[in-house]
Chain A
Amino acid sequence: MAELGTLVEKVRSKNAGPFWLTVDIFCGSAEAFARVTTGLDTTRVAHLFGVEPQAMKRFDIPDLNVVKLSVPRPVVQGTRADRDMHGAGWAVLVEEMEIA
């Protein structure tokens, strides 16, 4: 097991418009990409984000060694319950996940 963030170059989360959140995992190499694509359980990410697993879209992009996860924003951007206007903080939940 290892913390995902230690295996990859960068994890970035951003709004994709006010109603969506998108997380890009830049693996940096084919080896890291292979480990992340096999080790990363989308359902676990959904649980960490507090969303339904079927709401999460996942793209494994070998040309870029990137795994992308997109989900309707659990809290719409800028509403009173929103804590993070640009959606930047969600990345750490993925970064700090332990994966096989």
Chain B
Amino acid sequence: MTRVLIPTGALGLGYDRAALSRGIANRPDIIAVDGGSTDSGPSYLGRGVSKYSRASTKAEWRGLMQARAEAGVPLVIGTAGTCGADSAVDWLLEITREIAAETGQTLRVATLKSGQSAAAVKAALAEGRIAPLFPAPEISDALIDACSNIVALAGAEQIAAALATGADIVIAGRTTDTAIIAALPLVNGDHPGACWHGAKIGECGAIATTQPATGVIQIDFDATGFTMEPMALTAAATPYTVSAHMLYENSDPFVLYEPGGHLDVTGASYTALDARRVRVEGSEWIRGVYTVKLEGARVAGYQTVALALLRDRRYVRHAREWAADVQARVAAQIVERMGLSPDDFTLELRLIGMDATLGPLENRTTTPVEVGVLGIVTCPTEAQAAEAGKMLNPYLLHHALTEDEPMPTFAFPFSPAEMQRGALYEFCLNHVMRLDDPMSAFRLDVHEVGHG
């Protein structure tokens, strides 16, 4: 039997301290927490940084390091720093060193790095070891070179190797959400289908319970299945909340692909042991070729945005034609004055209050009180984006619907009116890479941290 304590869906989201203490009192074998996801977009991987504040991350990580010290078991984090790039692992290692020094802890910390060099990925491509998932962008050496970061998603094998170093803390770069939870139960010989299924249910902490915000859950894995229990006394796991979590952020609710195989939960049964605990059996792990998924992000241009507000009723009523006119005039000016070709840049005006969320798919119309006009210009260089953004300014401020009317002025919430967003990144890989040795694409290092 292996008892895994999961404090929260992601470091940075917070957790219930009383529930965490209850989890520690139950003597877990390991504490596992996720540190990231692609869900916030490509910029984090592109830049290799965390989306959460350093102060929040440090405060929550300090609490987990304290809980680990009390429990005397390993603490493992996957996809450190939102994106799991090597720089994000280094960032969390530095925070760990600070906390160790501040709290007088001496620790063995293993770092598992998932970053892939362009040379390694190009070699794998040439050797036929890279295959597209669906849908996948076209891949080429040039595209691989253009990525500012490429990571491979580690599985249970690499986490197990990190744990085998005897580490008190494992800071892993990009991993699958489930690998950090499944690794130790798999090493202990618990039921493989249950290990992966329980890991999927537990990856978001208490989301698979009646009180998602409480965060902390405990999963017991054994030879035939797993049992899930939320650690907040007010939260309950029910067969419904547990089984419904297979739907979450998953395109197929019965199948989950992982390095080295896939999970099939078609035959799983969910039983309430009491009002708060659920037992799951019958899920299957089907072995396959050992592949790891790749994620990459590259710069796709540079953006400047500006926001203006139309409150005048006549302009609100005619917002669409006004915006189309501004768009056409500014685009022409960018071509004429900056010498860009129309293919070099995009200029878009999204009308907040009308269809900014859904664009052409919006099928409701109404007359709003006001309309926010979000101008977005994307150019090949940062300097061009800054220039083009400034060209939007006079039009967003004063452009009149007709020539024979007094010059209008619209509301700008800021000065300067335009905001440079820096690089626009995009995800450009949806591929898997075959490995003969699971560790061959990952780097494991052991650090002695703290006093000594």
Contact = CB atoms under 8 A, between A and B. Distances in A.
Contact of B134 (A18, A72, A83): A72
A85 B40 contact: yes
B169 to A, nearest CB: 28
Interface stretch (B116-124, B218-226, B240-248, B395-403): B240-248
B367 to A, nearest CB: 18
Given A78-B43, A86-B39, A18 B356 contact: no
A70 B249 contact: no
Interface residues of B, number: 42
B370 interface: no
Interface in A61-100: 61, 63-64, 66, 68, 70, 72, 76-80, 83-86, 89-90, 92-93, 96
A50 B363 CA distance: 12
A56 to B, nearest CB: 11
Given A48-B361, A80-B300, A19 B41 contact: no
Nearest to A14: B249
Nearest to B41: A78
Contacts of B252: 57, 59, 70
Contacts of A63: 243
A13 to B, nearest CB: 11
A20 to B, nearest CB: 5
Counting chain A CB atoms within 10 Å of each CB, which of B350, B357, B376 scores highest? B357
Given A18-B430, A22-B251, A64-B244, A83 B359 contact: yes
B424 A16 contact: no
A20 B360 contact: no
A48 B357 contact: no
B360 A50 contact: yes
A17 B315 CA distance: 39
Given A22-B250, A50-B360, A80 B424 contact: yes
B42 interface: yes
Given A59-B253, A72-B134, A77-B427, A14 B378 contact: no
Contacts of B38: 15, 17-18, 77
Contacts of A80: 300-301, 303, 346, 376, 378, 424, 426
A92 B362 CA distance: 10
A1 B135 CA distance: 36
B358 A66 contact: no
B364 interface: yes
Counting chain A CB atoms within 10 Å of each CB, which of B134, B244, B247, B356 scores highest? B247
A85 B425 CA distance: 13
A89 B135 CA distance: 21
Contact of A20 (B240, B251, B363): B251
Contacts of A79: 300, 426
B41 A22 contact: no
Contacts of B358: 83-84, 89-90, 92-93
A54 to B, nearest CB: 13
A45 B293 CA distance: 30
Contacts of B136: 19
Nearest to B134: A72
Interface string A19-50: 11010101000000000000000000000111
A48 B364 CA distance: 12
Contacts of B42: 18, 77-78
Contact of B361 (A17, A18, A93): A93
B251 A70 contact: yes
Given A16-B249, A80-B346, A83-B358, A64 B240 contact: yes
Nearest to A87: B39
A21 B77 CA distance: 27
Interface of A: 14-20, 22, 24, 26, 48-50, 57, 59, 61, 63-64, 66, 68, 70, 72, 76-80, 83-86, 89-90, 92-93, 96
Given A15-B38, A15-B249, A89-B357, 7 more contacts: A17-B430, A48-B363, A63-B243, A76-B426, A77-B38, A78-B425, A78-B426
17 contacts: A14-B248, A15-B249, A17-B430, A18-B42, A18-B427, A19-B427, A24-B247, A50-B361, A63-B243, A66-B253, A77-B38, A77-B41, A78-B425, A78-B426, A78-B427, A80-B303, A80-B378
Interface of B: 38-43, 133-137, 240, 243-244, 247-254, 300-301, 303, 346, 350, 356-361, 363-364, 376, 378, 424-427, 430
